[in-house]
């Protein structure tokens, strides 16, 4: 390749379109603390995503930490080992014990059939992840939560714009948390958000992300500084103008990968969204035992040729030092997650990716 190709690259609108936003920020001298662009972006995202209340954050990890605080989660929380470490790190930062449960081998999401066996008297919540933007079995998870009086917090970092038959996937659970990191489908360079079910919850979360302040002199909770800056909010407003165009392009690249890889023995593509509205956030493949070389060999050969895929998620969260001592982290408890982590390879997918590069990648994979 003439230049390295990575799994994802942030979409950046034309610079000249961003200049008027910067001029307004410089003119009004409001840089943070819920300024005009912050308020505009919250309103615009509610309209686009089909939700009533959203609280913007400086990043998705602080949003996860705050969501757990807002719901006063303690004790143990059932979650997936197959995710980015921010999911379980947010639990540790709140003094909560993660309890890992295996995933469904077909969706790579938390397997509802495995949840009940992991519930103890100390369990207070479930934290599933919409992995790669593919929706969890939200009905099954909610049924379990209702039966055991548990809260549900969705790590929806990958799920911007994803819908099921009833509307936004973000409406499920007690809270859903988004990431607007530069690698995400929609980004504000760094950023995140919590989808709130009602105005009262949003007020409480807005207080928590601003040190617990209510007014100038009153602090009502041990909050944190999680506010999004005006600079990031302005970029979000500009990004939102191009999001449908970006999603259309991602869908085309997803379809091209599927068509070109469908006959390659040993390469398995995850099922597409079907009737659900997807965002094509990632394009993971599973490299099976019947492929001529191992996943790691394919990974290295692609890198050697200027293509930089990602083994996402490898290793499992449960294999990192701060988690591996937990009883639920043992590999024998997590066979599907362990297999996925050893086989997964995410291929490049982003709006500016040229279709000729997609063709070159798939030809390379087929030729091994």
Per-residue pLDDT of the chain (368 residues; tens, 9 = 90+): 668 999 998 888 889 999 999 999 999 999 999 999 999 999 999 999 999 999 999 999 999 999 999 999 999 999 999 999 999 999 999 999 999 999 999 999 999 999 999 999 999 999 999 999 999 999 999 999 999 999 999 999 999 999 998 999 999 999 999 999 999 999 999 999 999 999 999 999 999 999 999 988 999 999 999 999 999 999 999 999 999 999 999 999 999 999 999 999 999 999 876 656 899 999 999 999 999 999 999 999 999 999 999 999 999 999 999 999 999 999 999 999 999 999 999 999 999 999 999 999 999 999 99
The two tokens of residue 38 are 């912050």
From start to end of the chain, where are the E strands? 5-6, 53-57, 76-79, 97-100, 123-127, 151-155, 163-164, 167-168, 175-179, 192-196, 213-214, 218-219, 267-269, 283-287, 307-308, 344-347
- Cβ–Cβ < 8 Å for 227, 57: yes
Q: Where are the domains of the chain?
A: 15-101+108-238, 244-366
Q: How far apart are CA 85 and CA 61, in angstroms?
A: 10
**Strand, coil or helix: what is 163?**
strand
Q: Which residues, 6+ apart, have CB-to-CB distance to 330 below 8 Å?
A: none
Helix axes 60-70, 86-93, angle to 10 degrees: 40
DSSP letters spanning 173-237: SSEEEEE--TTSSS--SS-EEEEESSHHHHHHHHHHTBTTEETTTEE-S---B-PPPHHHHHHHH
User: What CATH number labels 15-101+108-238?
Assistant: 3.40.640.10
The two tokens of residue 221 are 């909770």
pTM over 0.75: yes
User: What CATH number labels 244-366?
Assistant: 3.90.1150.10
Q: How far apart are CA 53 and CA 197, in angstroms?
A: 7
Q: Which long-range contacts (CB under 8 A, 24 or more apart) does 271-277 make?
A: 271/106, 271/107, 273/134, 273/162, 275/165, 276/135, 276/162, 276/163, 276/164, 276/165, 276/169, 277/161, 277/162, 277/163, 277/164
For the four alpha carbons of 263, 267, 268 and 273, in that order, the dihedral sign comes to: negative
Q: Which of 285, 298, 295, 291 is nearest to 348 (CA)?
A: 285
């Amino acid at each position: 390749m003439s230049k390295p190709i990575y799994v994802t690259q942030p979409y950046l609108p034309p610079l000249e379109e961003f200049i008027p936003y910067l001029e307004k920020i410089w003119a009004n001298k409001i840089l943070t603390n819920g300024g005009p662009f912050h308020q505009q972006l919250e309103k615009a995202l509610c309209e686009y995503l089909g939700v009533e209340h959203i609280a913007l954050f400086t990043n998705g990890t602080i949003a996860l930490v705050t969501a757990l605080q807002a719901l006063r989660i303690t004790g143990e929380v059932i979650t997936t080992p197959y995710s980015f470490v921010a999911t379980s790190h947010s639990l540790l930062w709140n003094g909560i014990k993660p309890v890992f449960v295996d995933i469904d081998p077909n969706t790579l999401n938390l397997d509802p059939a495995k949840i009940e066996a992991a519930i103890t008297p100390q369990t207070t919540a479930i934290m599933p992840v919409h992995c790669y933007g593919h929706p969890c079995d939200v009905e099954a998870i909610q049924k379990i939560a209702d039966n055991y009086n548990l809260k549900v917090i969705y790590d929806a970092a990958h799920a911007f714009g994803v819908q099921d038959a009833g509307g936004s996937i973000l409406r499920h659970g007690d809270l859903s948390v988004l990431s607007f990191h530069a690698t995400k489908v929609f980004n504000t360079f760094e950023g995140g958000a919590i989808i709130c079910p009602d105005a009262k919850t949003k007020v409480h979360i807005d207080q928590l992300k601003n040190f617990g302040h209510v007014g100038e002199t009153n602090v009502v909770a041990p909050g944190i500084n999680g506010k999004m800056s005006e600079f990031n909010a302005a970029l979000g407003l500009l990004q939102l103008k191009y999001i449908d165009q970006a999603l259309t392009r991602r869908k085309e690249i997803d379809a091209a990968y599927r068509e070109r890889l469908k006959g390659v023995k040993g390469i398995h593509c995850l099922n597409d969204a079907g009737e659900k509205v997807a965002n094509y956030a990632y394009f993971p493949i599973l490299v099976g035992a019947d492929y001529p070389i191992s996943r790691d060999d394919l990974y290295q050969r692609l890198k050697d040729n200027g293509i930089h895929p990602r083994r996402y998620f490898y290793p499992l969260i449960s294999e990192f030092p701060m988690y591996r001592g937990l009883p639920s982290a043992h590999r024998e408890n997590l066979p599907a997650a362990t297999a996925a982590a050893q086989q997964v390879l995410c291929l490049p997918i982003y709006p500016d990716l040229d279709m000729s590069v997609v063709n070159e990648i798939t030809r390379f994979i087929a030729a091994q």
